[in-house]
Amino acid sequence: MQAEKEQKPQEKAPAVDTTTSNQEKQALDFKSLHFGWFVGHALVVLNTLIFAISNLVFHPLGFFYRLAYLGVIASYGIVLWNSYKPLTNKESYFKLMLLDENFQYLIVAVFFLFTRRIAVTLIPFFIYSVFHVLDFVDADLIPQLAPHQTKIQSHIKDVVSKYYDTAMILVAKIEVCGVMTRLVLGLFVFRSSILSVLVYAQFLRMRYYMSEHTREFLTELGTKIDKALTPPTAHPKIPPAVINAYATAKDKLTMGSKPAPATAAKKQL
């Protein structure tokens, strides 16, 4: 899977008797980090759906919004713990963790958990979690609980293969146009804060270097905006003050130095 998808934890195998049967080795461990990772993503999927239905049918149930974010924090936290073991106090590992995209998503999830409820922010996490849940069902649940259901496994693999790239492109668009637009517009009606815009802008800045899909979409979007706001292709009805302000803002934004390349926990999903 591509780097956008959070990797499931691969636990170190404890010392065991070499005579242990293959069936025992492959048994599903409900106390493992791996299963906890799955439960976290399952909570995201379930609670996001309940929250979405409550928005459509009656008053939104904010409890399920918060519970979904707790699932996000749990699953991403497990991956980071398994990858870097922060309590080992190794400075190099800590620096790598700061540049890991899973850490970036974790920080954003914690921020949105404790700030004003914004429904659109859950959508990217929901999409990621759907694929993680499907992966766990295919690779772990079906082989253990219904090994004869090979058709279901094949169907899951087909769905993931067919829709994964499209879903990642959709996530990039939602993160840029959906969430960021909502945060900026919220400033004018006092439903979001300057801090939320700054935090998410930094998140998108890191996503630009981490995600090929985000980088391609931002580049395409920037080209369209340049064409609309930069002479000689600028629309004639756009006031000169807006064109000048855009040129000034663009110059300041492009003066920043490139961040160090982002990393991701190198584990198979």
In a domain? residue 249: no
Residues paired with 20 in a beta bridge: none
Query: How many CB atoms lie under 10 A from the CB of residue 101?
Result: 22
Show the domain range for 95: 26-211
pLDDT of residue 241: 79
Q: How many domains does the chain have?
A: 1
Average pLDDT of 186-193?
A: 89
- Quote the CA–CA distance of 48 and 70 in Å, as a whole number: 11
Tell whether 39 is covered by a domain: yes
Phi, psi of 263 (to 5 degrees): -120, 165
- Does a structural domain hold residue 221? no
Does residue 41 sit within a domain?
yes
Strand partners, 100: 263
In a domain, 13, yes or no: no
Asked which of 16-25, 39-48, 64-73, 77-86 is least confident by mean pLDDT, the reply is 16-25
Is residue 236 included in any domain, yes or no?
Answer: no
Report cis status (omega within 30 of 0) of the bond before 232.
Answer: yes
The pTM (predicted TM-score) of the whole model is 0.80
Residue 69 in domain: yes
